[in-house]
Structure 1
Amino acid sequence: MSYKSIVLNLDIDGVAAPVIKLAVDLARRFDARLIGLSAADVPPPVVMEGGVAFEGESLMRQRKNIERRLESLRAEFEGLAGAAVDTEWRGAVGNPTRLLIGASRVGDLIVTAPPYGGSPGNAHRSTDIGNVILQAGRPVLVASANEENFRIDKVLVGWKDTREAKRALTDAMPLLQLAQEVRVVTIDNDATDETWNSLDDVVASLSFHGVKAKAEVLPENSDGRTIADVAEAMHADLVISGAYGHSRFREWIFGGATRSLLQNDRLNRIMSN
């Protein structure tokens, strides 16, 4: 297995150069086609009491501003990536989350920077990364903030014996095969023989793919240690984890471990559902 098509999501309001360079680095390693994508939408007219306040000139001006920014991002993308790897550009006026989920059809991997400003913003101009992870059916690599080169020496796998974690291991196998050190970690104060048997099976499965790994069970500490904390302590270059969440009233509700990984912009994280 390898990544032969990578979809790079560019936030229309974010700093593009670092994540473009990181994605180019990845595409080179796997001889993959790199598809740059950026989108933003014009908000619908505000509904006022007694009717709709139609502001046609304002809406057209917003659309033109989006189109100009998309052209600027296209030029930056092609300037940084065009001579290095095979590329394609997709820029559109439309909902950025929906368009990225749709574009996942053509990719083996989605790469994106953290949300601009560190948290989800305007749904018309910012991708809902959690929504993408749960709906795209592809692994999503959320890059650390402003990192331009993708190191892959130390990898931490956050393991739970669940469908999501198994899916994440399979999805991340091309990256695991490049790593020098792989730790498969479960955080559990009451590890049983079943816990250890699960970890041993994962290590054995990885070895069949040429990946040398070691398993560990770490207890929670008084501060509620998370996989993100362990990853920072070991200076991990990449964290691999299943993403756990469900839909409620059209909002994605995540468990604490998934939420802490999504909110930590100091880590490269690859997440699957």
Structure 2
Amino acid sequence: MKTILVNLEVSAALDATLACSIGVAKEFGSYLEGLHVRPVQPDVIAAGADGFIAAAPDLVAGFEQDARERAEKLRDAFENAVRSAGMPRFLEPGVSGPAADWHLGAGAAANVLGSYGRIFDLIVVGRPVADSLTPSTAALEGALFEAGRLLMIAPPSATRIGFDRVLISWNGSTETSRTIALAMPFLDRAKSVIVHTVEKGTVPGPSGESLARMLERRGLHVEVVNHAGDDRPVGKVTLDEAQRMGADLIVKGAYTQSRLRQMIFGGATSYILANVEVPVLMSH
């Protein structure tokens, strides 16, 4: 995890997103880049005598000012946070140790994050919050589906990132297998790893015991917990058990079922993204 991109938005999760990204950067000695994506100025027009014909300069100027002030506020928050953490600004290539820099993008956040994020080892985003436009669900999903990288989702309650006790939400799927491979640097640092399965949420694939044996070959201390399931949604079972077992971090493949199906019928990924209170690592 030598290169980390953190997506910054004015939101309830901003402090947590900064804390998690800086914590990972310091743990791995990483380069951390703060990214804010400014929206592209819309084509604002006003009604004239003959219809919608004239640009509205006052609205355009207001849009530009708001966007500029938001970017400046986020840059200040990022630079203050990394300075407080004792991280220097960008170091020359080949020089080791954690360092930080700032990048301002423009366009649709989902597109920018999904494209620019492809060159980083890890992308950190804030967890979407109910009844709020930020952190952006679209930006999170853009990174998840388009970047091809590991995502860390930081909930507003996360004041630190822990590596002691990591829970893998194992369902036998390709998505979770890929996430585990990308998350291996975190697992290698864990004091204990829990392989947790919910029987009604699995797909055809290796058992939790089989996964545990492979992880033990890496020298990891692994515990297997199989849950038959009950009336609770699979995602709720996972979060309840993670809390009961004191997990600092959750590793989970995203959208084994299609995103559309989960939007309509619900699913473990959707539930976790809406409710998780510890950082979670995901990929698709």
Quickly name the TM-score band, shorter chain normalised: 0.7 to 0.9
CA contact (8 A) 1:246 1:254 kept: no
Q: Partners in 2 of 1:254 and 1:11 — Cα distance? A: 29
2:227 to 212, 218, 224: 218
Cα deviation per residue 1:143-167 (whole Å; 9 max; x = unaligned)? 1214221112221111122210110
Matching of residue 131 in structure 1 with residue 132 in structure 2: no
1:35 to 33, 36, 44: 33
What does 1:147-186 align with in structure 2 at a 5 Å threshold? Answer: 147-186=158-197
CA contact (8 A) 1:119 1:263 kept: no
Q: Which runs of 5+ in 1 are unaligned?
A: none
Q: Partners in 2 of 1:59 and 1:14 — Cα distance? A: 27
Please give the secondary structure, in 2, of the residue aligned with 1:92.
strand
Cα deviation per residue 1:95-127 (whole Å; 9 max; x = unaligned)? 222111122122100111212x4366279x775
CA contact (8 A) 1:5 1:33 kept: yes
**Identity across matched positions, percent:** 25
CA contact (8 A) 1:130 1:252 kept: no
Q: 199-208 or 30-39: which moved more?
A: 199-208
Q: Which runs of 5+ in 2 are unaligned?
A: 88-97
* TM-score of the superposed pair, with normalisation by structure 1: 0.84
CA contact (8 A) 1:168 1:271 kept: yes
Could you tell me which residue of structure 2 aligns to residue 74 of structure 1? 75
CA contact (8 A) 1:191 1:217 kept: no
Could you tell me which residue of structure 2 aligns to residue 8 of structure 1? 6
Distance verdict in 2 for CA 1:91–1:69, change over 3 Å: same
Could you tell me which residue of structure 2 aligns to residue 100 of structure 1? 113
Could you tell me which residue of structure 2 aligns to residue 45 of structure 1? 44
Please give the secondary structure, in 2, of the residue aligned with 1:235.
coil
Q: Partners in 2 of 1:24 and 1:189 — Cα distance? A: 37
What does 1:54-69 align with in structure 2 at a 5 Å threshold? Answer: 54-69=55-70
CA contact (8 A) 1:156 1:182 kept: yes
Aligned residues: 265
CA contact (8 A) 1:70 1:92 kept: no
The AA in structure 2 aligned to 1:100 is L
Q: Partners in 2 of 1:262 and 1:191 — Cα distance? A: 19
Cα RMSD (Å): 3.0
Distance verdict in 2 for CA 1:145–1:6, change over 3 Å: same
CA contact (8 A) 1:246 1:253 kept: no
Could you tell me which residue of structure 2 aligns to residue 243 of structure 1? 254
The AA in structure 2 aligned to 1:22 is C
Please give the secondary structure, in 2, of the residue aligned with 1:128.
helix
Matching of residue 114 in structure 1 with residue 127 in structure 2: yes
1:189 offset after TM fit, Å?
5.3
The AA in structure 2 aligned to 1:157 is I
Q: 163-172 or 182-191: which moved more?
A: 182-191
Distance verdict in 2 for CA 1:161–1:27, change over 3 Å: same
The AA in structure 2 aligned to 1:272 is S
CA contact (8 A) 1:11 1:127 kept: no
The AA in structure 2 aligned to 1:188 is E
Q: Partners in 2 of 1:64 and 1:7 — Cα distance? A: 26
The AA in structure 1 aligned to 2:18 is I
Q: Partners in 2 of 1:190 and 1:23 — Cα distance? A: 30
Please give the secondary structure, in 1, of the residue aligned with 2:64.
helix
Please give the secondary structure, in 1, of the residue aligned with 2:207.
helix
